[in-house]
Amino acid sequence: MTACGGKDDVLGSSADAALAPSVTNITPARDASNVLVYDPMISATFNEAVTVVGNGASVAVTCLSPCTNPEGTVSVDSTNRIATFTPASDLMAMTQYTVTITGAKSLATGLTLPSPYTWNFTTGAASTAVTVTAVAPGVNSTGVSLNNTIVSADFNETIAPITDPASFTLTCAAPCTSPTGSVTRDPTNRVATFTLTPGTQLEPMTAYTATVSDVRSLVTGAALVAPFVWTFTTGNTADTTRPRVTFTVPATTSSGPTTGVPTNMAVSAVFSENMAPASISSTSFSLTCAAPCVNPAGNVSYAVGTQTLLFTPTAALMADTTYTARITSAATDIAENALAGNQAALPAASDYVWMFTTRAEATAGGNISVTTTIPADNAGNVCPDASINATFMVPSGVRMNPISVNSSTFTIVEATTAATPVIAAAVVLDAATGRIASFDPLNDLVPGVTYTATLKGGANGVKDSAIPANAMTTDYSWDFTAVDCSTTPPVLIPLGSVATFGTFGGSAGTTNQGILTIINGDIGTTAVSTAVTGFHDNGVGCIYTETPLNIGTVNGKIYTSPPSPTVACPTEGTADTAAIAAEARADALIAYNALVAQPGGPDQGAGNLANLVLVPGVYTAAAGSFMVEGGDLTLDAQGDTNATWVFQMASTLRVGGPGAAAPQSILLVNGAQAKNVFWQVGTAATINAAGGGTMVGTVISQAGAEISTDGNVAVVTINGRVISLNAAVTMVNTVINVPTP
């Protein structure tokens, strides 16, 4: 008996009487506020192992009407000391909840809580939904390469791991078989990527549908409101063109290093095409300096929509110090082609390296602001398919941070129903200036509806790339109304399978003279392989009649009819490459006819476009020919990065002159892009016969084209394409950069 010194199995000895279990810690804390509505941690820690479910034991979470008590599951950890309640769905925002634990029983003694244990907490505001900022391949893009093994979606914030394969799918209609693959995040956890199963590729000339769903914020748990769905269509060629770096900040100078660079700005590089997000990281980019300087720490990120690498140092750089920035050939495009940098000649992959020296002073500060918008505030004539744009004034003189301009900092809603947002196909900065933000709606705007566009200010809004970043002081909003457009503006011409070609020599071939020619894209002709001379491509032994003085590099592939150019190159000059060339010419003819069909426009320079500044539109040569002679032509997008120019001529196009020493250029300003400029030439085109100068846009001619002339060393640069439907294309020391569609 206990009174005689025995032991009670429940109460223990008189010296060590058992106590009822008790709660020693809770989450959220008592009376906590701003608790997450998604997947909140609701738990209680006991002083001993207990059972909390069954036999009168329970854990309940309740709230007052109109809130509905959440359902959920109760679990315990391996020690049976921590009980956790997991809600089956999101909690209600700005609501007080009560947690009640009843009858928890000690596993050792069988004793229970002497009374229910309760505490309260209050949820915070509803979290902003995760949204898609940009995708690659782009919405409704065409001519996508067959070996495009990566499909990516860039989000407005970091996202949680995607564990369900059904959350990111790629499908196609029968008889096409939907591809399988894996889903991953990039190193910043902001880009989700669907990668095709190794050894597989896309089907030619096929429409694919990508769907992203059930993606949640890594920080708040907020989810996509609805699945994001977009389509793209393949061409019939693989991408063998290595990506290039087209622009850097600080600038790359051939003599190097670039001097006078502020100490407090980010470092960035723009690529010629969409890159594999996972290949852009601290592994493939570095910024270094010589001792006693210490290599700066920082964050490497990649903006899908602007094809931009951004390195943001955690602190300002050292003054009067030379830094070396390096992007290694580990950076690849979405077809897994390695970077062609500036450390080796094509077709080899290599690193891209540039150097700069900081000055003593930092760049000036000052809040950024919006200077112009398209459409303007209260505009009442906005077409349903319009792109919405805003141009920033940046006192620091640096570019905007492309990561900060996204679908949560640039929003559009119906003015009368703010809860109805416009879903963005892409929210991006322009690559040329880094100061024009564009919002491209996924679906057409509704005629008759007034919309409010808002750029977010403050700490969580748009920022420049200074260190520390400068923001807008307040939100900037403007209204506009969509209408049915009685006059259809010029539209982008679908190029189909010819989109990947830098030049196409119709049925007659393509000839290069000089050793400085580089085609960053494909070339082709429906003629036999011997009609292509002075070129080689990435294929082993694929050399097309080169001589020591005539060596042109094709950073892509050459497509011709049989026979093969050399015995060592059996994969080119085949029936397959002939079929691809024929398809490209057919698509070029379709594009040419689409350009002809555009409603005619003015001839503001009486045939000479030199020294003009032209806004977007269709321009028609009244006398049949256009020339750019005696000055450059400027194309002003006025802040609209989707602005399009179509130049129609029944006869010739001549760029350059007067005289043999007067190359001329086409200049793009205020968001104008080379991919949106088209030249329909009824006969032949002559581009800078004197050498030098920069031509912009896609030229499609009926009767061939001549770029520069024999003996010229000054390189002619063409940011676009030169396509001939029938006659040959000849060039001398020419660099062609094919724009990303």
Q: How many CB atoms lie within 10 A of CB 314?
A: 9
Q: Is residue 337 assigned to a domain?
A: yes
Tell me the C-alpha distance between 532 and 676, whole Å. 28
**Parent domain of 153:** 132-234
Structural contact between residues 709 and 693, judged by C-beta atoms closer than 8 angstroms:
no
Cβ partners under 8 Å of residue 345, min gap 6: 553
Backbone angles phi, psi at 297, to 5 degrees: -85, 155
- Residues 331 and 401 placed together within one structural domain of the fold: no
Structural contact between residues 605 and 587, judged by C-beta atoms closer than 8 angstroms:
no
* DSSP structure string for 394-433: -TT-S-B-TTTSSTTTEEEEESS-TTSBPPEEEEEE-TTT
Q: How buried is 487 (Cβ within 10 angstroms: 0-12 exposed, 13-18 middle, 19+ buried)?
A: exposed
Beta pairing class for 117-123 and 32-35: parallel
Cβ partners under 8 Å of residue 198, min gap 6: none
Q: What is the pLDDT of residues 554-578, one digit of tens each?
A: 999 999 999 999 999 999 999 999 9
Q: How many residues does the chain have?
A: 741
State which of 209, 234, 259 marks the end of a domain.
234
* DSSP structure string for 98-161: EEEEE--EETTT--B-SS-EEEEEEE-PPPPPP-EEEEESPTTEEEE-TT--EEEEEESS-B--
CA distances from 67 to 123, 181, 221, 647 (A): 12, 42, 20, 62
> What's the predicted TM-score (pTM) here?
0.81
pLDDT of residue 491: 64
Q: What is the pLDDT of residues 276-290, one digit of tens each?
A: 999 999 999 999 999
Higher per-residue confidence, 662 vs 566: 566
Tell me the C-alpha distance between 330 and 346, whole Å. 16
Tell me the C-alpha distance between 10 and 195, whole Å. 61
Q: What is the pLDDT of residues 327-363, one digit of tens each?
A: 999 999 999 999 999 999 988 999 999 999 999 888 8
Higher per-residue confidence, 60 vs 417: 60
Rounded to 5°, the CA angle 538-272-193 comes to 95
Q: At which residue do the structure tokens 């693959």 appear? A: 181
pLDDT of residue 489: 53
- Residues 96 and 35 placed together within one structural domain of the fold: yes
- Residues 522 and 616 placed together within one structural domain of the fold: yes
- Residues 374 and 344 placed together within one structural domain of the fold: no
Please check the confidence at residue 9 and state whether its pLDDT lies above 70. Answer: no
Higher per-residue confidence, 126 vs 99: 99
Tell me the C-alpha distance between 287 and 275, whole Å. 20
- Residues 119 and 145 placed together within one structural domain of the fold: no
Indicate the pLDDT class of residue 585, thresholds 50, 70 and 90.
very high
Helix (H, G, I), strand (E, B) or coil at 500: helix
pLDDT of residue 223: 85
pLDDT of residue 11: 47
pLDDT of residue 659: 67
Structural contact between residues 734 and 707, judged by C-beta atoms closer than 8 angstroms:
yes
What is the mean pLDDT of the segment spanning 665-694? Answer: 95
pLDDT of residue 220: 81
Indicate the pLDDT class of residue 234, thresholds 50, 70 and 90.
very high
Indicate the pLDDT class of residue 10, thresholds 50, 70 and 90.
very low
Looking at the structure of the chain, the number of domains it has is 5
- In one-letter notation, the amino acid at residue 126 is A
Beta pairing class for 476-482 and 501-505: unpaired
pLDDT of residue 39: 80
Indicate the pLDDT class of residue 488, thresholds 50, 70 and 90.
low
- Residues 603 and 717 placed together within one structural domain of the fold: yes
Please check the confidence at residue 3 and state whether its pLDDT lies above 50. Answer: no
Tell me the C-alpha distance between 539 and 537, whole Å. 6
Structural contact between residues 662 and 690, judged by C-beta atoms closer than 8 angstroms:
yes
Three-state SS across 179-198? CCEEEEECCCCCEEEEEECC
Structural contact between residues 656 and 662, judged by C-beta atoms closer than 8 angstroms:
yes
Q: What is the pLDDT of residues 67-76, one digit of tens each?
A: 999 999 999 9
State which of 450, 482, 514 marks the end of a domain.
482
Structural contact between residues 634 and 669, judged by C-beta atoms closer than 8 angstroms:
yes
What integer best gives the mean pLDDT of the chain? 93
Tell me the C-alpha distance between 398 and 379, whole Å. 30
Q: Is residue 198 assigned to a domain?
A: yes
Q: Is residue 404 assigned to a domain?
A: yes
Beta pairing class for 677-681 and 694-701: parallel
Q: Is residue 487 assigned to a domain?
A: no
Q: What is the pLDDT of residues 116-126, one digit of tens each?
A: 999 999 998 77
CA distances from 99 to 27, 59, 122, 686 (A): 10, 7, 11, 79
Q: Is residue 27 assigned to a domain?
A: yes
Q: How buried is 560 (Cβ within 10 angstroms: 0-12 exposed, 13-18 middle, 19+ buried)?
A: buried
- Residues 572 and 719 placed together within one structural domain of the fold: yes
Q: How buried is 70 (Cβ within 10 angstroms: 0-12 exposed, 13-18 middle, 19+ buried)?
A: buried
- Residues 69 and 182 placed together within one structural domain of the fold: no
Closest CA relative to residue 547, chosen from 533, 567, 559, 558: 533
**Residue 725 tokens, joined:** 């439907």
CA distances from 716 to 280, 532, 687, 695 (A): 31, 20, 8, 8
Please check the confidence at residue 492 and state whether its pLDDT lies above 90. Answer: no
pLDDT of residue 740: 84
Strand segments, DSSP code E, in 442-589 are 450-455, 476-482, 501-505, 510-513, 518-520, 522-528, 532-533, 535-536, 543-544, 552-554, 558-561
Strand segments, DSSP code E, in 529-580 are 532-533, 535-536, 543-544, 552-554, 558-561
Please check the confidence at residue 706 and state whether its pLDDT lies above 60. Answer: yes
- Residues 562 and 688 placed together within one structural domain of the fold: yes
pLDDT of residue 74: 95
- Residues 630 and 720 placed together within one structural domain of the fold: yes
State which of 181, 201, 234 marks the end of a domain.
234
Q: Is residue 183 assigned to a domain?
A: yes
- Residues 396 and 534 placed together within one structural domain of the fold: no
Rg (CA), the chain: 31
pLDDT of residue 365: 83
What is the mean pLDDT of the segment spanning 706-718? Answer: 94
Please check the confidence at residue 83 and state whether its pLDDT lies above 80. Answer: yes
What CATH number is given to the structural domain containing 7? Answer: 2.60.40.1220
Q: What is the pLDDT of residues 199-210, one digit of tens each?
A: 999 999 999 999
Indicate the pLDDT class of residue 12, thresholds 50, 70 and 90.
very low
- Residues 682 and 730 placed together within one structural domain of the fold: yes
What is the mean pLDDT of the segment spanning 239-247? Answer: 95
Please check the confidence at residue 403 and state whether its pLDDT lies above 80. Answer: yes
Tell me the C-alpha distance between 694 and 295, whole Å. 38
- Give percent of the chain with pLDDT exceeding 70: 96
Q: Is residue 691 assigned to a domain?
A: yes
Closest CA relative to residue 615, chosen from 648, 649, 650, 640: 640
Task: Indicate the range of 4-8, 43-47, 208-212, 469-473 predicted with least confidence.
Answer: 4-8
**Residue 507 tokens, joined:** 């049925």
Please check the confidence at residue 708 and state whether its pLDDT lies above 80. Answer: yes
Q: Is residue 490 assigned to a domain?
A: no
